[in-house]
Structures are given as C-alpha cells and as structure tokens.
C-alpha cells in the first residue's frame, strides 16, 4: 500500500489558464525545460529559435500561433511527477478549457504585466472559483515595460475578488528588469545568460542588505526596492495555506517566461504550496484518491491526432488507485466490462504506451466510439458514478448543409466525431433527419475549425448558414412539460440534441422571459449535464 500512497502523493495536476498571448504556452515550455523533458525551448514566436510550441500540434494551431485544443504534458522535477493541462487561451475555445479545469486540482493564471486582467481571464477564473480550486498567479512579461506592480495587484483583487499575496517581487521592469526578491528568504535572485530563453541560464543570489547589490542593480533601483518592500510588508495579505487551498487567496509571482527569469523559483514554490490529488464527488459520496480501487472520468475526446490512422483518443483523469493495463475495468454509462486499449501518456505529439498510472495522472486511451465526455470508469467490484461535467450553452448557431450528398456517410461520421469531442454541439429540428442539422458553438472561430477539419480529415465540403439565435435553454423535467405543448414567441425554435433531449432556441433574452411567463411552472436551464 505504501508504494501506492507514495506515488499518488508526489503527483501534481494543474491547468494553465490565461487570456490569449499572455505567454501561457511559453511558460509551459519552460517548465519542461527545467524538468529536463526538453533540452531546448523553442521560442513560440521568436525568429532566432523558430520552432512551434511543444504543446501545439494541429495545423490550424501552427498557422495562427494559438492553441486550439488542450494538451496534456507530463514530466518529473525534484521527485514530483507533474501533469500540466495546457488549455486554449483563445476565447472561442473556452468550452474545452472549462472541461479541462474539471480535471485539474489547481490552476496557474498567467497575466501579462503590461495589460493586467483581461476578459478571458475573468471567465476562466469564475470556473475555478465555482470549483473552489487553488489559484496561483504568475505575472509574466516583466522583461517588457509593465504596469505599476501595486496597481496590478489591486486590479487582480478588484476584478477577480480574490486576495493576493506576493511571494516574490520584481526588481524593475522592461530593460531594467534585473531579477526578483524572495520575501520569505529575503534573498535577491538576479538572472543572466539564458540565450533568449532557450537555456536555463545562471542565477546569482544576494542578501538584500549585501553591499555588492548596488553595483549590480544600481543605487536608485536598490532604494526603490527597499521602499517597495517596506510598503508591501505593511499592506499585503499574509500568506495562509488554508486560504490558498480554498481558492480564497492567490499567491503571486513575477517573472518572464520568455527569458526564464523567475520561472524555476515559481515552480519550486508552487510545488510546495499545492496538494497531492484531491478527492472527487460521486453518487456514493467522496472518492478518496488513496483508495486502492481504480476510478477515472473522461473529460476530453480528441479525434484524428494521428494523420496516418483515423484514431480517437479519450482522455481520462484518474481519480483513485492505480491503473493497471492488464486488468479489466467497468464502463458505467456503457454498462460493461472492458480493457482499456493502448493506454498512453502524452507529451504533445510524442506518445508513450504505459502499463500503469496513478491517481492524479491523465491517460489517453483508444476510443472505438464508446466513450462520451463525463463517463465514469471504475473497478468492476466497486461501481459508482462521478458527478457529470456541465455542458456550457453555445452562443452562436448555424445550419450545416453538405455540398455533395453522395458523401453523406463521411459527413455524419465527421460531424458526430467532432461533436463527441465537445468542440461543437449538434441539434436537430424536431421530427427531421440528419439532412439538416444545427450546430452550436461557444466562439465563431469554432465554425472555421469545423469546416477545416471536415474538409481535411473527412474530405467533406459544407456550407454554413448563420442563424440569428443567441440563447439556448434546456428544459428541466421535460416529462412534465412536453415540448409540443410549450407556448413560445414567434422567434422561438424547438429542437433536440443527439440524446433526444428537448431544447429551445431564442433570438433574445426577452423571448426567454415571455416563454416563461406563458408557461407557468416551466423551468429552463442555461447548461445541461453530461
């Protein structure tokens, strides 16, 4: 038993979230550099080191320089086994991010020092708060001219409603960014020679009261630093681990992912402040990660990761016990025993087949088309079901028509597979077939990705006709309110999802209110549960 406990307690599983371009993918790369998983970090944008990011693999991602799908990276560092869930920063792909956050135990929020809190950060932050998971803040791009440091902290507190506690403090910004001061050890770390961030570089450590300090950073920078520290000690919140665990206090770190300044310091502190895998809610109560019985849930499905084989990978977060490739498991929603085939851990495109994995790990298994998002996998001797993952309401709708009716089979297959990944949601008009379907997405860029993937992966051309609807509602208790008896407004549309659940589409929120007024006792919900 002790080996199981030992393996599980050294695991850390976290998601990195941010607004597009705050430097999230670069930070992920630098973690891998320090963990020895890669020897040279390819700067995502830099000409000097023009390579694509490790975690971006789809063609459309490389073309646009954005992450479209979440990827999972695992590496070891200082006797910890770390699973990073890199999420798409672009708001059009936030649905994927919401679900990924369900698989993480904590989140690292990357904020651009010159821009502060941006719209997408707010949204993602809300999901973290909903789950009460610890949030760590890394204020990035200090090597560029950044906003006033105190103003940045104020903004985080006001905008996000969470107390902040700086663990370190930057010395200058832009060209004058020299390093960081650690408030706990009272030491100053100066950085140099990272060769545009491709190497780890050298660190020089000084005591705050060292006589040599001024020769390195200059007299005025030293004075400013001492003043700021004095202010900080008087004004900022005390570090309290229990508040961090509840997601009420965010430890803040400063640095530059591009040049590696402050990245390793952040990694070390982060690992000491986060906990090993957390327990999960199920229909039989809380599931303890140290329980010997294996259990996991599916939070993401990705089709066609490998061009040569039309494959589908279901990503699972292991919640308890140890996964053994030899043993049978029970798929609750499919109501049958099976062996998970080709279990693998991923390092972006690199995959390695594994025999075992532990609670906290993320594994990818081959999916013949039986898994859906939110499914529970557990030991046959101990059956239960985890809480479902919310389905967020799409905000944009379009009617999809295939141009070549001879390719109906590929069209249906492609649409279904992409829908099962959770990137799009498909609806049908009541009493109509698959000839005309309505697609709902969270962001309009998803339509582009759908078109691109159907053409490139399934060889099907489609035409998209945008629809004016903006609001979708699930009907609570449809048995009490049959959809054909609901009296709505003239712009309301009655549809169903693939599971046959009735839904309503509305052009504006006024119509939603009118429909509720006309049907006493009707309850409409903004998200469904998988």
pLDDT digits (tens, 9 = 90+) for 22-66: 676 778 777 777 776 554 444 333 333 334 454 444 555 555 444
The Cα 83–Cα 291 span in angstroms is 20
Is the CB of residue 109 less than 8 Å from the CB of residue 138? Answer: yes
Report the predicted TM-score, pTM, of the whole model to 2 decimal places. Answer: 0.75
CATH of the domain at 140: 3.40.50.300
Query: What are the pLDDT digits (tens) for 57-91?
Result: 455 555 544 444 446 778 788 888 888 887 654 45
Tokens found for residue 304:
């066609």
> Mean pLDDT of all residues in the chain?
78
> Alpha helices, DSSP H only, in 87-176?
94-103, 119-131, 149-160
Which range has the top average pLDDT, 39-43, 235-239, 355-359? 355-359
CA 257 to CA 410: how far, in whole Å? 43
The two beta strands, 179-182 and 71-77, are unpaired
Query: Given this model, what pLDDT does residue 225 score?
Result: 78
Domain-located, residue 2: no
- Residue whose entry in the numeric block shows the structure tokens 């590696």: 260
Same domain, 212 and 197: yes
* Integer CA distances (angstroms), 509 to 113, 430, 471, 486, 514, in order: 37, 22, 7, 17, 9
- The structure tokens listed for 444 are 């309009």
Segment 384-396 mean pLDDT: 79
Strands 11-18 and 106-112 come out as parallel
- Which residues are CB-neighbours of 146 under 8 A, at least 6 positions away? 113, 114, 139, 152, 170, 173, 174
Kindly compute the dihedral angle of the four CA atoms of residues 431, 436, 438, 443, in this order, to the nearest 10 degrees.
170
pLDDT (mean) for 89-113: 74
What are the tens digits of pLDDT across the range 306-327?
555 556 788 889 999 898 888 8
> What pLDDT does residue 192 have?
64
**Shared-domain flag, residues 95 and 201:** yes
Are 277 and 322 a contacting pair, CB within 8 Å? Answer: no
User: CA 352 to CA 513: how far, in whole Å?
Assistant: 52
* pLDDT for 96: 67
CATH for 494: 3.30.70.3280
- Given a cut of 70, whether residue 399 has pLDDT beyond it is yes
- Find residue 207's DSSP bridge partners: 187
Tell which residue, 409, 324, 425, 421, has the closest CA to residue 369.
421
Report residue 335 as tokens: 């109501």
Which of 244, 273, 302 represents a domain boundary (last residue)? 273
Question: Is 4 inside a domain boundary?
Answer: no
Last residue of a domain, which of 248, 273, 298? 273
Instruction: Determine what percent of the chain is predicted with pLDDT higher than 90.
Output: 6
Predicted local distance difference test score (pLDDT) of residue 398: 93
Domain count, the chain: 3
Residues 62 and 107 in one domain: yes
Q: Residue 146 is encoded by which pair of tokens?
A: 């950044």
Q: What is the model's pLDDT at position 44?
A: 38
Higher-scoring residue by pLDDT: 468, 196: 468
User: How many Å apart are CA 518 and CA 501, to the nearest integer?
Assistant: 21
> In terms of pLDDT, which residue wins out, 240 or 530?
240
| Mean pLDDT, residues 4-13 | 88
In a domain, 188, yes or no: yes
In a shared domain, residues 228 and 305: no
d(CA 197, CA 143): 12
What's the confidence (pLDDT) of residue 466? 92
Residue 9 included in any domain: no
Each residue of 434-477: pLDDT tens digit? 667 899 887 777 788 888 888 888 899 989 999 999 888 888 88
Same domain, 197 and 303: no
Q: Above 80 in pLDDT, residue 150?
A: yes
Same domain, 198 and 176: yes
Residues 358 and 412 in one domain: no
Contact indicator for 441, 392 with CB cutoff of 8 Å: no
What token pair was written down for 313? 């990978």
Q: What is the pLDDT of residue 40?
A: 43
User: How does pLDDT run across 251-308, given as a tens digit for each residue?
Assistant: 999 888 787 787 888 888 888 888 888 888 888 888 889 988 999 998 887 765 555 5
CA distances from 469 to 448, 466, 472, 503 (A): 19, 9, 8, 13
| Domain around 145 | 14-70+81-273
């Amino acid at each position: 038993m002790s080996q199981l406990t030992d393996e599980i307690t050294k695991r850390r599983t976290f998601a990195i979230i941010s607004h597009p371009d705050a430097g999230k993918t670069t930070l992920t790369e630098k973690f891998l550099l320090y963990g020895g998983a890669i020897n040279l970090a390819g700067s995502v944008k830099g000409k000097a080191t023009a390579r694509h990011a490790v975690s971006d693999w789809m063609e459309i991602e490389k073309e646009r320089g954005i992450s479209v799908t979440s990827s999972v990276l695992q590496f070891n560092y200082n006797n910890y086994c770390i699973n990073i869930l890199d999420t798409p920063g672009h708001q059009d792909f936030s649905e994927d991010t919401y679900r990924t956050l369900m698989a993480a135990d904590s989140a690292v929020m990357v904020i651009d020092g010159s821009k502060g809190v941006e719209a997408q950060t707010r949204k993602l932050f809300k999901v973290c708060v909903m789950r009460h998971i610890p949030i760590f803040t890394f204020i990035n791009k200090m090597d560029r001219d950044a906003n006033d440091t105190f103003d940045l902290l104020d903004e985080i507190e006001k905008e996000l409603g969470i107390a902040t506690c700086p663990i370190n403090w930057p010395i200058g910004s832009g060209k004058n960014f020299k390093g960081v001061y650690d408030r706990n050890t009272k030491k100053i770390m100066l950085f140099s020679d990272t060769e545009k961030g491709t190497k780890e570089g050298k660190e020089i450590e000084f005591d705050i009261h060292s006589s040599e300090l001024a020769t390195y950073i200059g007299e005025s920078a030293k004075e400013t630093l001492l003043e700021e520290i004095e202010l900080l000690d008087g004004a900022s919140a005390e570090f309290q681990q229990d508040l961090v665990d509840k997601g009420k206090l965010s430890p803040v770190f400063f640095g530059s992912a591009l040049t590696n300044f402050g990245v390793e310091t952040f990694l070390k502190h982060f690992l000491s402040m986060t906990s090993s895998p957390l327990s999960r809610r199920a229909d039989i109560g809380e599931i303890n990660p140290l329980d010997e019985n294996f259990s996991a849930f599916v939070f993401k499905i990705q089709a066609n990761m490998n061009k040569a084989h039309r494959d589908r990978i279901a990503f699972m977060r292991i919640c308890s016990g140890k996964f053994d490739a030899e043993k049978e498991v029970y798929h609750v929603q499919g109501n049958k025993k099976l062996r998970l085939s080709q279990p693998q851990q991923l390092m972006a495109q690199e995959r390695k087949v594994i025999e075992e994995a532990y609670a906290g790990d993320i594994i990818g298994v081959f999916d013949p088309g039986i898994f859906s998002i939110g499914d529970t996998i557990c030991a046959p001797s101990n059956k239960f079901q985890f809480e479902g993952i919310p389905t967020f309401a799409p905000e944009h709708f379009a009617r999809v028509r295939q141009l070549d009716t001879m390719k109906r089979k590929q069209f249906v297959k492609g649409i279904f597979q992409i829908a099962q990944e959770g990137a799009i949601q498909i609806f049908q008009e009541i009493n109509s077939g698959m000839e005309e379907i309505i697609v709902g997405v969270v962001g309009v860029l998803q339509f582009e990705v759908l078109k691109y993937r159907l053409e490139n992966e399934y060889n099907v051309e489609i035409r998209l006709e945008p629809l004016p609807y903006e609001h979708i509602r699930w009907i609570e208790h449809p048995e009490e309110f049959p959809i054909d008896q609901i009296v709505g407004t003239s712009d309301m549309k009655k549809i169903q999802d693939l599971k046959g659940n009735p839904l309503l589409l509305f052009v504006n929120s006024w119509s939603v209110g009118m429909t509720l007024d006309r049907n006493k006792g009707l309850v409409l919900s903004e998200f469904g549960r998988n």
